[in-house]
Amino acid sequence: MTAHAGEERPSTTHPDPMPVGPGQRRRTRQVVVRWDDNQVLIGSDGPVVVQSMTNTDTAEAIATAIQTRALAKAGSELVRITVNTPAAAAEVPAIREQLDRMGCKVPLVGDFHYNGHKLLHDFPECAEALSKYRINPGNVGSSAKRDDNYRAMVEAACRHGKPVRIGVNWGSLDQSVLARLMDANSARAQPWDAQAVMREALVTSAIESAQEAERIGLPGDAIVLSAKVSNVQDVVAVYTELARRCDYPLHVGLTEAGMGSKGIVASSAALSLLLQQGIGDTIRISLTPEPGGDRSKEVVVAQEILQSLGLRSFAPMVVACPGCGRTSSTFFQELADRIQRYLREQMPVWSTQYPGVENMNVAVMGCIVNGPGESKHADIGISLPGADESPVAPVYIDGERTVTLKGDHIAEEFQAIVENYVERRYGAKA
C-alpha cells in the first residue's frame, strides 16, 4: 500500500465482479495496515481480520493503552480508539509509545467525527502514530464545510501514508445524499419504500465518498468501506449491494448490536449470512458490555463466529453436550467450563509453542448415550458417567479409548492428559 497523491490508481468499480458462493471469498483489493513490523492485510487474499474498539477516555493514555493491550491479547488484530478532542489527539503518541514499550505492536485506528480535519492537521504526531483513520462522511460538517473538511482528512491520510475506512452509518447518514435520492425516488413511476431509499443512500454515500477520496489522491488500495445499520436484514441487504457494486474490502458489523445474548445472536446472524456469501474482510462485534464487564468479550465473539463458520481457527474448540435428565450432577458442566477456559488461557503461549493447536477439538460429554461417540470424533474426549452409570470416565485420544478416570481428581487428571497430548502432538511440529 502506498498513499501519495497523484499516483496512477485502478478504477473505483470492478467491471466484472467475480460471482461469490458459499465459502468463496469475494475478490477485493488488498489494504495493508501496519505498525512497525506488524502488517495486517485486509482483503480477499488475507484472512478475515478481527478488530475491536476501546471504551476508555483516549485522553487517559495509560488506561487506553492497558485496554488496547488487553484487546490485542484477546486476539484483536486492529484496535480502534476514539480521537474526539485536542486532549485525546495529544495523547495518541503516548498511547502508541506505551504499547510499544509493552511489546504490543497492534495497529491503532483513529475514529474521527466532526473535528477530524482539525485534529489531524493540528496534531501531526497523532496522525503519524495511528495506522489507519476511520472517517464518517456523514459527520464531517455541514453542507458548506463538508467538502473542505472531508478533503482535509483525506489529504492528511495521503500525507502520512495511512489507509482509511470510510464508514457510513445509519445514525449519521449524509443528509445531502439522502435528500437527493428521495427527490429521485419521488420522480419514479413506482417509488421505493422509505427503507429501500435509506439503504440505497447508505450504499451511495459509501461508494461516492470512496470515489471522491480517490479523486483527492488516496490510492484505491488504501480504502476500506463500511455501511453499518442495527437491523440484521438491512445490514445483509446493504452489504450485499455494496459487494456487488465495488471491490473495496468491507468492514462488516452490526452497529449498536446491543447487550448480552441479543447482541451476540444478532451479530452472529448478520455476519454469518454475509460471510457465508464471501462478503466481509474485517469484522467488529459492537457489543454493549455489562457494567464493569470485560470489553474483550467482543473479540472472543468475533473469533467464535469465524471459527464456527470454519473460516479461521483461534483456540481449540470444546464440544460439550447440553446435559439432560441423564446427568446426575453439574460436574460435567464445570469440567467443560474449566477445560474451555484453560485452553483459551494457554493460547497466548501455545499459539507460538504448538503450531496447529488452535485446530484441536476436545469433547466433554455427560453420559454414555452420545459420550463415547462424540469423544471418538474429537482429538481428545472424555465421557463422564450419567445417572445410574458406573462412576468412571473413559478418555478417548485420536478416536481410541485409552485410560479410564475415576475418583475425586478426574478434572485435574483430564487437564493433565490434554496438556500431554498438546505437547506430544503439536510440540513435534514446532
CA dihedral 230, 233, 238, 243 (to 10 degrees): 120
How many angstroms separate the CA atoms of 29 and 2, rounded? 13
Helix (H, G, I), strand (E, B) or coil at 111: strand
Is 367 known as a binding-site position? yes
DSSP-derived secondary structure for 298-337: HHHHHHHHHHHTTS---S-EEEE----TT--SSHHHHHHH
Is 104 labelled a binding residue? no
Q: Which of 5, 62, 324, 392 binds ligand SF4 (CB under 6 A)?
A: 324
DSSP secondary structure letter of residue 235: H
326 binds ligand SF4 (CB under 6 A): yes
The distance of Cα 114 from the centroid of its chain, to the nearest Å, equals: 25
Q: Select the span of 11-19, 173-181, 231-239, 323-331 touching ligand SF4 (CB under 6 A).
A: 323-331
Does position 369 interact with ligand SF4 (CB under 6 A)? The reply is: yes
Annotated binding-site residue? 374: yes
One residue of 366, 381, 385, 394 binding ligand SF4 per CB under 6 A:
366
CB of 384 to ligand SF4, least distance (A): 8
Going by the DSSP 8-state scheme, the letter that residue 257 receives in this structure is -
Q: Rule CB under 6 A: is residue 179 a binding residue for ligand SF4?
A: no
Query: Residue from 340, 361, 370, 415 that binds ligand SF4 (CB under 6 A)?
Result: 370
Shortest CA distance to 211 belongs to which of 9, 22, 351? 9
Summary count for the chain: helices (H), strands (E): 13, 17
Measured from the CB atom, the residue of 194 and 324 that comes closer to ligand SF4 is 324
By the rule CB under 6 A, 371 interacts with ligand SF4: yes
Given 21, 292, 322, 407, the residue binding ligand SF4 (CB under 6 A): 322
Minimum CB–partner distance for residue 375 and ligand SF4 (Å) = 10
Cell readout for 149 is: 473538511
Find the binding residues for ligand SF4 in span 262-281 (CB under 6 A): none
Q: Is 327 in the site for ligand SF4 (CB under 6 A)?
A: yes
Q: Does 367 bind ligand SF4 (CB under 6 A)?
A: yes
Nearest distance from residue 343's CB to ligand SF4, in Å? 20
375 contacts ligand SF4 (rule: CB under 6 A) = no
Shortest separation between residue 397's beta carbon and ligand SF4, angstroms: 19
* Least Å from the CB of residue 273 to ligand SF4: 29
CB 387 within 8 A of CB 368: no
**Euclidean distance between CA atoms 350 and 245, whole angstroms:** 42
* Strand, helix or coil for residue 205: helix
Residue appearing with cell numbers 437491523: 231
Helix (H) or strand (E) holding 420: helix 410-427
Q: In this structure, what C-alpha cell is assigned to residue 303?
A: 473469533
Is 365 a binding residue for ligand SF4 by CB under 6 A? The answer is yes
Contacts of 379 (CB under 8 A, 6+ apart): 360, 361, 362, 397, 398, 421, 425
Distance in Å, CB of 389 to ligand SF4, minimum: 10
Stretch that binds ligand SF4, among 137-145, 229-237, 292-300, 367-375 (CB under 6 A): 367-375
Q: What is the number of other CB atoms lying within 10 angstroms of the CB of residue 391?
A: 11
Positions in the binding site for ligand SF4 (CB under 6 A): 321-324, 326-327, 365-367, 369-371, 386
Q: Which residues line the annotated binding site?
A: 321, 324, 367, 374
Q: Which residues line the annotated binding site for [4Fe-4S] cluster?
A: 321, 324, 367, 374
